[in-house]
């Protein structure tokens, strides 16, 4: 199934706008598999900053990961203060500690205005944004996390070790 909707300005994008490879992850901040994928993706995007544009979409599996949606909303609240990727990193690096107290500590650590952040956590539009990303994942055929799309098409290969990077390096286009 193709990625629905395609990547847009509403997404969280890391990398060159004109990068030939768009790598989209549907992820869950509490998912242990996403936690294992995080350093792989961090290394991959650092190794190929001009080749890969990385996009993260929230797909909290709330029934099995009860703190995942709260963490996703926290990342969206951090985005309001242009700190999405900072919060994204801290949530994955500390995914065993995603309670409200810990999240407020992460917000402080990355220099967020805590009063505004706490207010934004209660903003219903952020919960709706997370739900909208989750629904877009369902429409795209996502049934587990992490799930990846490369240039709009579902990637079914292994993401572990160097497999994802090797696959991307094998794609045509400038390196």
Question: Residue 127: which domain range?
Answer: 12-170
**Residue entry with tokens 């709260």:** 70
Q: Residues in the chain with pLDDT < 70?
A: 174-175
In a domain, 4, yes or no: no
Q: What is the pLDDT of residue 175?
A: 59
Q: What is the CATH number of the domain that holds 87?
A: 3.40.30.10
In a domain, 164, yes or no: yes
Yes or no: say if 5 and 158 are a contact pair by the CB < 8 Å rule. no
**Cα–Cα distance, 100 to 107 (Å, whole number):** 10
In a domain, 175, yes or no: no
Each residue of 8-57: pLDDT tens digit?
A: 999 999 999 999 999 999 999 999 999 999 999 999 999 999 999 999 99
In a domain, 3, yes or no: no
In a domain, 83, yes or no: yes
Q: What is the pLDDT of residue 174?
A: 64
What's the total number of domains in the chain? 1
Q: What is the CA radius of gyration of the chain?
A: 16
- 3 contact partners, CB below 8 Å, separation of at least 6: 24, 140, 149, 152, 153, 154
**Cα–Cα distance, 66 to 56 (Å, whole number):** 20
N-terminal to C-terminal alpha carbon distance within the chain:
27
**Cα–Cα distance, 135 to 137 (Å, whole number):** 5
SS (H, E, C) the chain: CECCCCCCCCCEEECCCCCCEEEEEEECCCCHHHHHHHHHHHHHHHHCCCCEEEEEEECCCCCCCCCHHHHHHHHHHHHHCCCHHHHHHHHHHCCCCCCHHHHHHHHHHCCCCHHHHHHHHCCHHHHHHHHHHHHHHHHCCCCCCCEEEECCEEECCCCCCCHHHHHHHHCCCCC
> Is the CA virtual torsion 69, 71, 73, 76 positive or negative?
negative
Tokens matching residue 122: 């209660």
In a domain, 124, yes or no: yes
In a domain, 93, yes or no: yes
Give the relative orientation of helices 68-80 and 100-109 as an angle to the nearest 10 degrees: 30
In a domain, 1, yes or no: no
């Amino acid at each position: 199934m193709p990625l629905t909707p395609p990547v847009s300005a509403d997404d969280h994008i890391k990398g060159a706008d004109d990068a030939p490879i768009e790598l989209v992850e549907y992820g869950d901040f509490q998912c242990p598999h996403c936690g294992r994928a995080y350093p792989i993706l961090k290394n991959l995007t650092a190794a190929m900053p001009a080749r890969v544009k990385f996009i993260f979409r929230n797909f909290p599996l709330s029934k099995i990961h009860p703190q995942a949606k709260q963490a996703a909303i926290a990342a969206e609240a951090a985005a309001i203060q242009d700190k999405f990727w900072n919060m994204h990193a801290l949530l994955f690096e500390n995914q065993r500690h995603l309670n409200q107290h810990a999240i407020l500590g992460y917000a402080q650590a990355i220099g967020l205005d805590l009063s505004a952040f706490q207010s934004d956590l209660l903003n219903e539009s952020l919960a709706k944004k997370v739900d909208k990303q989750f629904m877009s994942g369902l429409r795209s055929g996502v049934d587990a996390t992490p799930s990846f799309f490369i240039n709009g098409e579902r990637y079914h290969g292994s993401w572990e070790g160097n497999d994802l990077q090797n696959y991307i390096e094998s794609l045509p286009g400038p390196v």
